[in-house]
Amino acid sequence: MDQELKNSPVENFDWDAYEKGDVYGEKSREELVNTYDQSLSTVKDKEVIEGTVISLNKREVVVNIGYKSDGVISMNEFRYNPDLKVGDTVEVYIESQEDKKGQLVLSHKKARATRSWDRVNSALENDEIIKGFIKCRTKGGMIVDVFGIEAFLPGSQIDVKPIRDYDVFVGKTMEFKVVKINQEFKNVVVSHKALIEAELEQQKKDIIAKLEKGQVLEGTVKNITSYGVFIDLGGVDGLIHITDLSWGRVSHPEEVVSLDQKLNVVILDFDDEKKRIALGLKQLMPHPWDALSADLKVGDKVKGKVVVMADYGAFIEIAPGVEGLIHVSEMSWSQHLRSAQDFMKVGDEVEAVILTLDREERKMSLGIKQLKADPWENIETKYAVGSRHMAKVRNFTNFGVFVEIEEGVDGLIHISDLSWTKKIKHPSEFTQIGAEIEVQVLEIDKENRRLSLGHKQLEENPWDVFETVFTVDSIHEGTIVEMLDKGAVIALPYGVEGFATPKHLVKEDGTQAQVEEKLPFKVIEFNKDAKRIILSHSRIFEDEAKAEAKKEAAAKKAAKKSAKSEETPVINNNVEKTTLGDIEELAALKEKLDSEKK
């Protein structure tokens, strides 16, 4: 019975459908489809939902969103998250439930972009740590992909240490904090440094609390500047000033240390809040002065290198950290004011003599002129009075010329000792600086290290001859070469000059003589000692007029006498008497003859 029931035909079985392959009836098919659809997630295009990564490879990520088909997303959209793995929940944007191939089209990038602004603002509000992918470099920092938004990472916010190579960060995924958002321009600024600062701040507190002067710590060279070196002491920075790097001279800290170098330093000082820490490196080494030979003494010769130049002298390093000063006055026996740069320059190797040595004050003075004999020791022999020498003009004053016969031997030629004949107002009229001039030693002042010299003494005194030529009342041709307030300078023969006051420059017609005018002049005064000749042009015609007047007066007296003698009888023709008139007449005649002779 049961067997019959089992094998009995199903009522209302649709054999036509069975033959076509549809084992379910039309009604049953619709029910199954509805049941299947109800079991899947209901999704809409352009919607953001969450999905689960079910598989991934280098190119693609397959995501299940509970839909009838899975979506495939390019691995490039997950570059920011290299830790992505199967089972992770990710946000996806439904671009299309079915493309032409019936494939579900998803985008993780668009999903992130859709929600990114809200998430970025939330991260700033909640001080949340987020991940970002560093895409590339830009001016002043880096561009970071955060939730699909391009955020800016300033170079100063990458790390607490200065970054020397930004390129090593490109392509890395790092943790960040959002530190600033510009809502108007949708700009986001992130920082990686902010994550580690809190931890470092605690480390700093622990280190600073234990700091003491004189303490020796190990540090790492963090940064090198022209004025010093910054040392990382493990979260807190200290500065070694360039003067505390070495006992010797240091032009730049790079000569002593290099970046990332580990070294021991000593704490020299810090402020009350211990924010500024002064460190020393040279203090860990013995001072070079303590190692200086005990046998070294004043008068010893030493060799060294010029390390610093100044106008007043040069500092010579005779050993690392041991320096002596050669003052410019100890560079030459010369007393001329000169700069130390005239004698040496930085880097020169020099030999010098120790002049003073103070080990307690760690000071030393040196000299190089002492390597040569003092030229004034035998000055009386080498430059005896009356000896002649060639000298170089060094300087002018209103009263004379300073010359140098040799280095250290100076002398003065007084302006009156330059020329026998020329009236020189300033030495520059006679010679020039740097010129060679022959001199004769007149006097030696050994105490003041100065010679009195003369130039005109090289020739005989022409005034001995002039005394016989330019006698008083003698007349000479002269040319007016210069007009002054008190008179004129007149050039006379033999290169000598005379002087005439304005009243003696009036010509016979009443006019005044002018410059470059050639006229006869009478000598009215000759002073050999003062080398002065006083002349007069006017005196020539004035004297002639006086002589003529006297002549006329004498002639009148002679005529008068002759008339009187005719009236008076001759008593004795053989006796001649000389009268006063005869004497005056003879005197006038003599004066006329003398005048004509002259």
Q: What does the pLDDT look like over 393-411, one tens digit per residue?
A: 888 888 888 888 888 788 8
- According to DSSP, the β-strands at 313-319 and 173-182 are unpaired
Q: Is the whole model's pTM more than 0.75, yes or no?
A: no
Average pLDDT estimate for 65-93: 83
The pLDDT assigned to 9 comes to: 56
Instruction: Give the percent of the chain with pLDDT over 90.
Output: 5
Residue 195, strand partner residues: none
The pair phi, psi for residue 339, each rounded to 5°, is: -90, 150
Residue by residue, DSSP assigns 283-311 as: GGS--GGGGS-TT--TT-EEEEEEEEEET
How far apart, in whole angstroms, are the C-alpha atoms of residue 555 and residue 561?
Answer: 10
Query: Whose CA is closest to 66, among 37, 102, 99?
Result: 37
The residue assigned the tokens 């008190």 is 486
Q: State CA 243 to chain mean position distance.
A: 21
How far apart, in whole angstroms, are the C-alpha atoms of residue 152 and residue 142?
Answer: 6
Structure tokens at 484: 């002054």
Identify whether the C-beta of residue 535 lies closer than 8 Å to the C-beta of residue 490: yes
How far apart, in whole angstroms, are the C-alpha atoms of residue 86 and residue 126?
Answer: 29
Q: How confident is the model at residue 139 (pLDDT cuts 50, 70, 90)?
A: confident
Q: How confident is the model at residue 22 (pLDDT cuts 50, 70, 90)?
A: low
- According to DSSP, the β-strands at 48-56 and 216-224 are unpaired
198-229 confidence digits (pLDDT tens): 777 777 777 777 788 888 888 899 889 999 99
Identify whether the C-beta of residue 266 lies closer than 8 Å to the C-beta of residue 255: no
Q: How confident is the model at residue 496 (pLDDT cuts 50, 70, 90)?
A: confident
Amino acid at 358: D
How far apart, in whole angstroms, are the C-alpha atoms of residue 290 and residue 329?
Answer: 29
How far apart, in whole angstroms, are the C-alpha atoms of residue 353 and residue 374?
Answer: 14
Q: Quick check: 464 pLDDT over 80? A: no
Query: Whose CA is closest to 304, among 343, 254, 360, 354?
Result: 354
How far apart, in whole angstroms, are the C-alpha atoms of residue 266 and residue 285?
Answer: 11
Say how many residues make up the chain. Answer: 598
User: Which residues, including other chains, have CB under 8 Å from residue 280's CB and lie 6 or more apart?
Assistant: 240, 244, 265, 266, 267, 268
The pLDDT assigned to 5 comes to: 45
The pLDDT assigned to 201 comes to: 74
How far apart, in whole angstroms, are the C-alpha atoms of residue 25 and residue 480?
Answer: 152
Identify whether the C-beta of residue 517 lies closer than 8 Å to the C-beta of residue 506: no
The pLDDT assigned to 384 comes to: 83
Amino acid at 556: K
**Region at 540 (left for phi over 0; alpha for psi -120 to 50; beta for the rest):** alpha
Structure tokens at 253: 């800290």
Identify whether the C-beta of residue 200 lies closer than 8 Å to the C-beta of residue 160: yes
Residue 535, strand partner residues: 523
How far apart, in whole angstroms, are the C-alpha atoms of residue 328 and residue 309?
Answer: 10
Q: Quick check: 266 pLDDT over 50? A: yes
The pair phi, psi for residue 379, each rounded to 5°, is: -60, -35
